[in-house]
């Protein structure tokens, strides 16, 4: 009950946030107008030890749009998204071959620093993972502190901006100094989104961001994704086909580590080219 | 009472029997754990009781001045006992050990778990564990014949010329009362203790560090943190309480270590600001004098009282660490659920 009330409030609030987004962003925040965030995946293969999780994936992800990756468990969708910001290699025994061109440049080129890539391509994980020892505000600006060079007041300003962008500000503005772990699950996940947005990435990767959340929180995250695509390239992995249909412009269907079909969401869900896609989206397996 | 009832009764009987057996098992288990737990507590009470029975004598004789008395003279007729030099020596050597060992051990734990992987990490880990297997008397021998000469000739003069000139901490690192650096001293004893407790603190520290949820490490990395920043941001804050616990374990060993300390600490009663002076610790004096103490005399009672004080010091440190742990645990509570599901999910792709 209570949740419903607060939700309508903040939806209204967020519409105004959007207007403020370009004008209200603090001076330090650069205004984004360059076409950015196109990702081109070329012959990508990934392994966990001897297990090949991705097989010759080729793909063009459009900037400033939402691309959903769907497929049954174990089809490699998480692996694919984790290859896009070089997180895959952090797992012991994991290995990648192939290219991922980000704005024309291969992020797997030897002279590329994965740290730099991860600053430009942010990520939100399946389970909310705020830093338990940090306050709400400190969590939001954790990435900015890494970059350094910002005063306390600037940090606070940027933190507020990020929390607004994640649609969380109204709920936490009086609790900024409480531990981040004390928020509800849905709030924690939006805090993680705020944390990812605060460093102003060009791309936001979301690995099943709502699968650990209740329906109301899921709805909020989905609304948020819709807003984010105005400014970011969003790639969202989801188990939930309705969710993919609701939030995405493009959908990628994967099976056994291979791309089966990639196309506009409306087409993929209504007139898929591949029989396997049709079987999956109509619920015949998976 | 028809024939049709029989199967039902039988069916109901089987689970009831099973339940009955579990109850007996539970009762036995409960009884056994109670006996063991009670026995352990009784052992502790008994030990403290025996110590206290005789150990109160010096307190009766000297009052609270036993605690702050600086004189320890077991010679019959001129007997006088004060515990302060031993309390001081014990606390100071253990503190030096902790201050030196904890950063090294935490660094090692992080190196082995976060940075080095593969054969190098394995070799270092084995070497550190081997260190724990060396008997303390061997450490003592090494201390007397290798470490102490090196300290006297090189390290202590060097420290006196550098750190010794820094305000505030400087006076801790000056030449000893005889104007030089010769002889056993509390600093050397602290260094030996540090080497001795590094393995245990490292081992426990590694366990602690490995419990940091994978989620948190990935959160930091995905924000664009370097490996070091990830450690600072996700690993250290999360494992702070565990590291305090590991340090307290090390401290416990340092407080009780006897023979290695007795061999290098100098066994002298002075209390001086400079750490390069000789000192004495409670375990060392107990080990050195228990044979000479006549069974009825005040000397023996004073040694028992020292043992009581040692227990009290250890308990105080344990309580202090509990307090520290609780404080940082309060921050983490409500944190993320246990790790491994992310990994399990990723590997579920296999």
Å between A46 CA and nearest CA of chain B: 11
List strands edge to edge, sheet with A105-106: A51-61, A39-48, A94-102, A105-106
Task: Give the pLDDT confidence score for residue A6 in this predicted structure.
Answer: 43
B218 touches chain A (CB under 8 A): yes
Domain that holds residue B107: 59-349
**Is A68 in a helix, a strand, or coil?**
strand
Residues B39 and B125 in one domain: no
Cross-chain residue pair A115–B226, CB shorter than 8 Å: yes
Does residue B10 belong to any structural domain of this protein? Answer: no
Q: What tens digit of pLDDT does each residue of B197-254 get? A: 999 999 989 888 888 888 898 999 998 888 888 998 889 888 888 888 888 889 989 9
Residues B45 and B101 in one domain: no
Residues B98 and B124 in one domain: yes
Residues B257 and B284 in one domain: yes
Please name the member of A122, A131, A146 whose beta carbon is closest to the beta carbon of B229.
Answer: A146
Confidence of residue B95 (pLDDT cuts 50, 70, 90): very high
Task: Give the pLDDT confidence score for residue B21 in this predicted structure.
Answer: 64
What is the distance between the alpha carbons of residues A238 and A53, in angstroms, rounded to a whole number? 17
Is the model's pLDDT at B294 over the cut of 80? no
Å between B2 CA and nearest CA of chain A: 52
Give this prediction's pTM: 0.75
Q: Supply the mean pLDDT for chain B.
A: 82
Q: What percent of chain B has pLDDT over 90?
A: 29
What is the distance between the alpha carbons of residues B21 and A57, in angstroms, rounded to a whole number? 60
- Lowest mean pLDDT of B8-12, B27-31, B289-293, name the range: B8-12
Q: What tens digit of pLDDT does each residue of B143-175 get? A: 999 999 998 888 888 888 888 888 888 878 877
- Residue B171 tokens read as 């006076």
What is the distance between the alpha carbons of residues B255 and B261, in angstroms, rounded to a whole number? 10
Task: Give the pLDDT confidence score for residue B33 in this predicted structure.
Answer: 94
Does residue B204 belong to any structural domain of this protein? Answer: yes
- Residue A266 tokens read as 């409306």
Place of tokens 């910002």: A150
Q: Contacts of residue A142 in chain B, CB cutoff 8 Å? A: 220, 223, 233
| Mutation for A interface: B217, B220, B224, most A CBs within 10 A | B224
Task: Give the pLDDT confidence score for residue A189 in this predicted structure.
Answer: 87
Residues B125 and B226 in one domain: yes
Task: Give the pLDDT confidence score for residue B199 in this predicted structure.
Answer: 92
What is the distance between the alpha carbons of residues A126 and A206, in angstroms, rounded to a whole number? 8
Does residue B80 belong to any structural domain of this protein? Answer: yes
Task: Give the pLDDT confidence score for residue B284 in this predicted structure.
Answer: 92
The angle at the Cα of A16, spanning A12 to A19, to the nearest 5 degrees, equals 150
Residues B147 and B27 in one domain: no
Our count of domains for chain B comes to 2
Between these two residues, B92 and A30, which has the higher pLDDT value? B92
Q: What residues in chain A have per-residue pLDDT under 70?
A: 1-36, 286
Residues B27 and B146 in one domain: no
Task: Give the pLDDT confidence score for residue B273 in this predicted structure.
Answer: 84
| Residue A42: closest CA among A58, A55, A60 | A58
Q: Contacts of residue A238 in chain B, CB cutoff 8 Å? A: none
Task: Give the pLDDT confidence score for residue B8 in this predicted structure.
Answer: 47
Burial class (CB in 10 A: 0-12, 13-18, 19+), B133: exposed
Å between B91 CA and nearest CA of chain A: 32
What is the distance between the alpha carbons of residues A158 and A116, in angstroms, rounded to a whole number? 20
| Residue B345: closest CA among A283, A126, A95 | A126
Residues B33 and B75 in one domain: no
Please name the member of A74, A133, A182 whose beta carbon is closest to the beta carbon of B237.
Answer: A133
- Helix H or strand E encompassing A86: none
Task: Give the pLDDT confidence score for residue B135 in this predicted structure.
Answer: 92
A213: region left, alpha or beta (phi > 0 left; psi from -120 to 50 alpha): beta
Task: Give the pLDDT confidence score for residue A7 in this predicted structure.
Answer: 41
Task: Give the pLDDT confidence score for residue A16 in this predicted structure.
Answer: 39
Confidence of residue B15 (pLDDT cuts 50, 70, 90): low
Does residue B7 belong to any structural domain of this protein? Answer: no
Q: What tens digit of pLDDT does each residue of B297-347 get? A: 888 888 999 999 999 998 888 888 878 777 655 555 444 333 333 333 433
- Residue B82 tokens read as 């004060």
Between these two residues, B295 and B67, which has the higher pLDDT value? B67
ipTM: 0.80
Does residue B128 belong to any structural domain of this protein? Answer: yes
Cβ–Cβ under 8 Å, residues A171 and A6: yes
Task: Give the pLDDT confidence score for residue B2 in this predicted structure.
Answer: 43
Residues B200 and B100 in one domain: yes
What residues contact B279, with CB distance under 8 A and at least 6 apart?
B85, B88, B89, B92, B93, B185, B186, B189, B265, B266, B268, B270, B271
Task: Give the pLDDT confidence score for residue B339 in this predicted structure.
Answer: 37
Is the model's pLDDT at B97 over the cut of 50? yes
Task: Give the pLDDT confidence score for residue A123 in this predicted structure.
Answer: 92
Please name the member of A91, A115, A127 whose beta carbon is closest to the beta carbon of B215.
Answer: A127
Out of B55, B72, B103, pick the residue that ends a domain.
B55
Q: Of the segments A230-234, B55-59, B192-196, which one has the largest average pLDDT value?
A: B192-196
Residues B47 and B87 in one domain: no
Residues B95 and B186 in one domain: yes
CATH number at residue B262: 1.10.3720.10
Cross-chain residue pair A74–B349, CB shorter than 8 Å: yes
Does residue B196 belong to any structural domain of this protein? Answer: yes
Does residue B2 belong to any structural domain of this protein? Answer: no
Residues B104 and B169 in one domain: yes
Q: Contacts of residue B333 in chain A, CB cutoff 8 Å? A: 181
Is the model's pLDDT at B46 over the cut of 90? yes
Neighbours of A104 (CB within 10 A): 7
B340 touches chain A (CB under 8 A): no
Helix B236-256 / helix B298-332 crossing angle, nearest 10 deg: 170
Out of B26, B55, B84, pick the residue that ends a domain.
B55
């Amino acid at each position: 009950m209570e949740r419903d009330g607060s939700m309508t409030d903040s939806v209204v609030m967020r519409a105004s946030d959007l207007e403020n987004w370009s004008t209200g962003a603090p001076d330090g925040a650069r205004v984004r107008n360059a076409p950015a965030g196109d990702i081109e995946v070329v012959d990508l293969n990934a392994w966990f030890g001897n297990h090949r999780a991705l097989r010759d994936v080729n793909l063009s992800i459009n900037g400033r749009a939402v691309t959903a990756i769907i497929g049954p468990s174990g089809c490699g969708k998480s692996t694919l998204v984790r290859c896009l910001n070089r997180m895959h290699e952090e797992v012991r025994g994991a290995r990648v071959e192939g290219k991922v061109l980000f704005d024309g440049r291969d992020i797997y080129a030897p002279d590329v620093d994965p740290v730099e890539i991860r600053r430009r391509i942010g990520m939100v994980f399946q389970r909310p993972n705020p830093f338990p020892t940090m306050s709400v505000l400190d969590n939001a600006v954790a990435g900015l502190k890494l970059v350094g060079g910002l005063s306390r007041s600037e940090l606070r300003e940027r933190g507020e901006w990020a929390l607004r962008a994640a649609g969380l500000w109204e709920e936490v503005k009086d609790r900024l100094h409480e531990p981040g772990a004390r928020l509800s699950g849905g709030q924690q996940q939006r805090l993680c989104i705020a944390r990812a947005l605060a460093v102003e990435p060009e791309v936001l990767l979301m690995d099943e961001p709502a699968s650990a959340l209740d329906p109301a929180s899921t709805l909020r995250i989905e609304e948020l994704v819709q807003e984010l695509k105005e400014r970011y390239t969003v790639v969202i992995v989801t188990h939930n086909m309705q969710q993919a249909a609701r939030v995405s412009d493009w959908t990628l269907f994967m099976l056994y580590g291979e791309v089966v079909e990639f196309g506009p969401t409306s087409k993929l869900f209504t007139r898929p080219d591949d029989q396997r896609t049709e079987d999956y989206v109509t619920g015949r397996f998976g | 009472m028809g024939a049709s009832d029989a199967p039902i009764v039988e069916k109901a009987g089987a689970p009831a029997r099973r339940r009955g057996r579990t109850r007996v098992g539970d009762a036995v288990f409960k009884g056994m754990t109670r006996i063991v737990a009670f026995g352990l507590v009784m052992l502790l009470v008994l030990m403290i009781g025996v110590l206290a029975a005789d150990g109160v004598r010096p307190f009766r004789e000297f009052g609270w001045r036993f605690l702050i008395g600086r004189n320890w003279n077991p010679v019959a007729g001129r007997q006088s006992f004060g515990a302060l030099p031993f309390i001081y020596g014990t606390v100071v050597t253990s503190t030096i050990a902790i201050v030196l060992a904890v950063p090294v051990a935490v660094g090692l734990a992080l190196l082995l778990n976060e940075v080095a992987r593969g054969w190098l990490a394995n070799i270092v880990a084995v070497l550190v564990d081997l260190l724990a297997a060396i008997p303390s008397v061997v450490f003592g021998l090494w201390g007397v014949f290798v470490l102490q000469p090196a300290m006297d000739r090189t390290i202590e003069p060097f420290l006196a010329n550098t750190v010794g000139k820094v305000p505030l901490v400087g006076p801790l690192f000056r030449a000893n009362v005889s104007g030089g650096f010769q002889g056993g001293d509390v600093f050397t004893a602290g260094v030996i203790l540090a080497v001795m407790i590094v393995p245990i603190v490292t081992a426990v520290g590694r366990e602690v560090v490995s419990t940091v949820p994978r989620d948190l490490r990935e959160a930091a990395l995905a924000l664009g943190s370097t490996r070091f920043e990830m450690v600072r941001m996700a690993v250290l804050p999360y494992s702070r309480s565990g590291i305090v616990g590991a340090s307290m374990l090390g401290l416990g060993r340092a407080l009780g270590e006897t023979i290695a300390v007795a061999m290098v600490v100098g066994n002298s009663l002075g209390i001086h600001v400079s750490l390069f002076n000789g000192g004495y610790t409670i375990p060392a004096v107990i080990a050195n004098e228990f044979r000479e103490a006549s069974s009825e005399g005040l000397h023996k009672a004073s040694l028992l009282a020292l043992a009581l004080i040692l227990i009290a010091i250890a308990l105080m440190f344990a309580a202090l660490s509990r307090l520290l742990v609780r404080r940082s645990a309060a921050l983490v509570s409500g944190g993320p659920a246990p790790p491994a599901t992310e990994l399990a999910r990723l590997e579920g792709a296999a």
